[in-house]
């Protein structure tokens, strides 16, 4: 009957069969009982004291199999895989031993060696001045508010993106990598913002400020030999504090209006100035042309006068007569009036050819015939018949 069955002896020891009321169990007896149980599990003989030596051998053999299995399992569990873009840092009793590359690797099992896997391809992001939670970016005033060179306060929010360049340095040279990088970023940010004015930081100087902050952060982290490389620094937002936000927006609008007026004025200037320059150039060219024409005309007149003077010196009377005829020809050529000088008379014959031409075409033809050649009604006499001029008008006789 089992010791815990109803009606059984509750004081009976289930291992040695001894009665608990008779005193504490014997330690040797308990150990022997355990050996018998383990020997039975591995096929040992549980009969009699004479088989005690035979039972010890199977028990030791089973323990050996257990130990061997544990060793195999322990060794097999020491294989590990390093993913692409990661590095495995092997530590032996807490001391750095080696950095393993991606793939299947093996190390001495714990607690002799341990492996820290570090992802060096991952782009990590550090938020300074704000926290993004649930799609909203809440400002952290203690980190975001800082003083500018012109003693103004601005709210600046940065996002720093970085990667691990050296896994060993990243794990051992800096105790708390994220906190250290955050403190360095705040220090660099305040130094750069404090060296510039508020307008420069909020308008055209944003890109320059970001570049300066990135350079300064990288220099400090390199001096720490941290194994961190800064890949990018983004200026998420830069604005005045909320207390003066409305006034600052008004100032920005006024500045934008000013710039718009300047652009419109420059556009008008670019349209008017070229036209004025073109008109001025045209006037100058016309003046130069007029100047050249007047000078050439004057030089021609001087040359012509010089030539006439030479001829006048040679024959004054002939030259004087020719000049008179040329002058009268130029004066009378602009009119339709013909004046005929009749020899031996003090009167001039006036022929209103313009009126005669209006009255009769036949009269016009007669006048044209008269002007072109004289009508000879008697023999030609050189003494009393004037010679017609080459232009159809009778020259004045002397």
Last residue of a domain, one of 189, 216, 240: 240
Mean pLDDT (the chain, rounded):
77
Cα–Cα distance, 202 to 245 (Å, whole number): 13
Q: How many residues does the chain have?
A: 398
* Residue 243, pLDDT score: 78
Same domain? For 72 and 148 the reply is no
Same domain? For 115 and 186 the reply is no
Same domain? For 144 and 236 the reply is yes
Q: Are 184 and 220 in contact (CB under 8 A)?
A: yes
Last residue of a domain, one of 87, 119, 151: 119
Retrieve residue 11's tokens.
């004081």
* Residue 269, pLDDT score: 92
Same domain? For 83 and 172 the reply is no
Token pair 């990667």 in the structure block, residue: 163
**Beta partners for residue 345, in sequence order:** none
Instruction: Decide if 2 is inside a domain.
Output: no
pLDDT of 362 > 70? The answer is: no
Instruction: Decide if 354 is inside a domain.
Output: yes
Instruction: Decide if 274 is inside a domain.
Output: no
Instruction: Decide if 306 is inside a domain.
Output: no
Instruction: Decide if 324 is inside a domain.
Output: no
Same domain? For 62 and 89 the reply is no
Instruction: Decide if 385 is inside a domain.
Output: yes
Average pLDDT, integer, range 375-385? 46
Residue numbers of the domain that contains 94 = 79-119
pLDDT of 296 > 60? The answer is: yes
Does 111 sit behind a cis peptide bond, omega within 30 degrees of 0 on the bond before it?
Answer: yes
The pLDDT tens digits of the residues spanning 172-213 come to 998 889 999 999 999 999 999 999 998 888 888 899 999 999
Query: SS in 3 state form for the chain?
Result: CCCCCCCCCCCECCCCCCEHHHCCCCHHHHHHHHHHHHHHHCCCCCCCHHHHHHHHHHHHHHHHHHHHHHHHHHHHCCEEEECCCEEEEEEECCEEEEEECCEEEECCCCCCEEEEEEECCCCEEEEECEEEECCEEEECHHHHEEECCCCCEEEEEEEEEEEECCHHHHHHCCCCHHHHHHHHHHHHHHHHHHCCCHHHHHCCCHHHHHHHHHHHHHHHHHHCCCCEEEEEEEEEEEECCHHHHHHHHHHHHHHHHHHHHHHHHHHHHHHHHHHHHHHHHHHHHHHHHHHHHHHHHHHHHHHHHHHHHHHHHHCHHHHHHHHHHHHHHHHHCCCCEEEEECCCCCCEEEEEHHHHHHHCHHHHHHHHHHHHCCCCCCCCCCCCCCCCCCCCCCCCCC
Residue 61: half-sphere exposure toward Cβ, Cα within 13 Å: 11
The pLDDT tens digits of the residues spanning 86-145 come to 999 989 888 888 888 888 887 777 778 888 888 988 999 999 988 887 666 777 888 889
Q: What is the CA radius of gyration of the chain?
A: 63
What CATH number did the domain enclosing 206 receive?
3.30.479.30
Instruction: Decide if 148 is inside a domain.
Output: yes
Same domain? For 92 and 186 the reply is no
Q: Are 138 and 131 in contact (CB under 8 A)?
A: yes
Same domain? For 142 and 95 the reply is no
Same domain? For 106 and 183 the reply is no
The residue among 316 and 365 whose pLDDT is bigger is 316
* Residue 48, pLDDT score: 45
* Residue 328, pLDDT score: 82
Same domain? For 341 and 380 the reply is yes
* Residue 275, pLDDT score: 92
Same domain? For 103 and 203 the reply is no
Cα–Cα distance, 137 to 122 (Å, whole number): 23
Same domain? For 379 and 359 the reply is yes
pLDDT of 50 > 60? The answer is: no
Cα 248 versus chain centre, distance = 27
What angle is formed at CA 238 by the lines to CA 233 and CA 239, rounded to 5 degrees?
175
CB neighbourhood size of 132 (10 A): 13
Cα separations (Å) of 198 from 250, 257, 311?
A: 15, 20, 92
User: How sure is the predictor about 356, in pLDDT bands with cuts at 50, 70 and 90?
Assistant: low
- Domain tally for the chain? 4
Instruction: Decide if 391 is inside a domain.
Output: yes
Last residue of a domain, one of 176, 209, 240: 240
């Amino acid at each position: 009957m089992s010791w815990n069955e109803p009606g059984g002896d509750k004081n009976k020891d289930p291992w040695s069969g001894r009665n608990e009321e008779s005193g504490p169990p014997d330690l040797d007896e308990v150990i022997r009982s355990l050996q018998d149980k383990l020997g039975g599990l591995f096929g040992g003989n549980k009969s009699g004291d004479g088989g005690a030596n035979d039972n010890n051998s199977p028990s030791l053999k089973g323990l050996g199999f257990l130990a061997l299995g544990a060793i195999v399992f322990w060794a097999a569990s020491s294989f590990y895989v390093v993913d692409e873009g990661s590095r495995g840092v092997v530590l032996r009793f807490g001391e750095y031993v080696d950095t393993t590359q991606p793939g299947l690797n093996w190390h001495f099992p714990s607690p002799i060696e341990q492996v820290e896997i570090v992802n060096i391809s991952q782009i990590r992001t550090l938020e300074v001045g704000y926290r993004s939670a649930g799609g909203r970016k809440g400002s952290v005033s203690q980190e975001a508010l800082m003083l500018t060179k012109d003693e103004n306060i601005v709210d600046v929010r940065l996002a720093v993106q970085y990667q691990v360049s050296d896994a060993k340095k990243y794990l051992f040279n800096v105790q708390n990598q994220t906190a250290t990088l955050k403190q360095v970023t705040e220090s660099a940010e305040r130094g750069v913002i404090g060296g510039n004015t508020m307008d420069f930081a909020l308008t055209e100087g944003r890109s320059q400020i970001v570049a300066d902050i990135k350079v300064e952060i990288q220099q400090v982290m390199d001096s720490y030999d941290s194994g961190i490389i800064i890949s990018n620094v983004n200026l998420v937002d830069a604005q005045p504090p909320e207390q003066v936000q409305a006034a600052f927006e008004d100032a920005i609008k006024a500045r934008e209006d000013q710039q718009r007026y300047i652009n419109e004025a420059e556009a008008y200037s670019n349209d008017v100035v070229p036209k004025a320059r073109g008109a001025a150039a045209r006037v100058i060219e016309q003046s130069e042309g007029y100047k050249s024409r007047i000078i050439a005309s004057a030089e021609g007149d001087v040359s012509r006068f010089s030539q006439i003077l030479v001829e006048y010196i040679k024959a004054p009377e002939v030259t004087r007569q020719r000049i008179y005829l040329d002058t009268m020809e130029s004066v009378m050529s602009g009119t339709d009036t013909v004046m005929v000088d009749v020899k031996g008379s003090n009167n001039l014959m006036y022929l209103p050819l313009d009126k005669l031409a209006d009255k009769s075409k036949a009269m016009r033809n007669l006048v044209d015939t008269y002007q072109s050649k004289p009508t000879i009604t008697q023999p030609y006499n050189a003494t009393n018949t004037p010679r017609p001029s080459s232009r159809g008008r009778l020259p004045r006789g002397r």
